[in-house]
Amino acid sequence: MDIDVRATNFGLEDGVRDYIERRMMMSLDRFEGRVERVEVTLTNLHGRNHTRELQCRVLAAVHHARNVVVAQTDQDMIAAVDVAASRVKRTVRRQINRRRDARREQRQRAA
pLDDT tens, position by position, 52-76: 789 999 999 998 889 999 999 999 9
Those residues with Cβ within 8 angstroms of residue 2's Cβ, 6 or more apart along the chain or in another chain: 36, 37, 38
Are 43 and 54 in contact by the 8 Å Cβ rule? The answer is yes
Q: Residue 40 pLDDT > 80, yes or no?
A: yes
In CATH terms, the fold of domain 2-110 is Double Stranded RNA Binding Domain (3.30.160)
Phi, psi values for residue 21, rounded to 5° = -60, -45
What's the pTM value of the predicted model, to 2 decimals?
Answer: 0.87
> What is the per-residue pLDDT for 15?
94
> What is the per-residue pLDDT for 30?
93
Q: Where are the domains of the chain?
A: 2-110
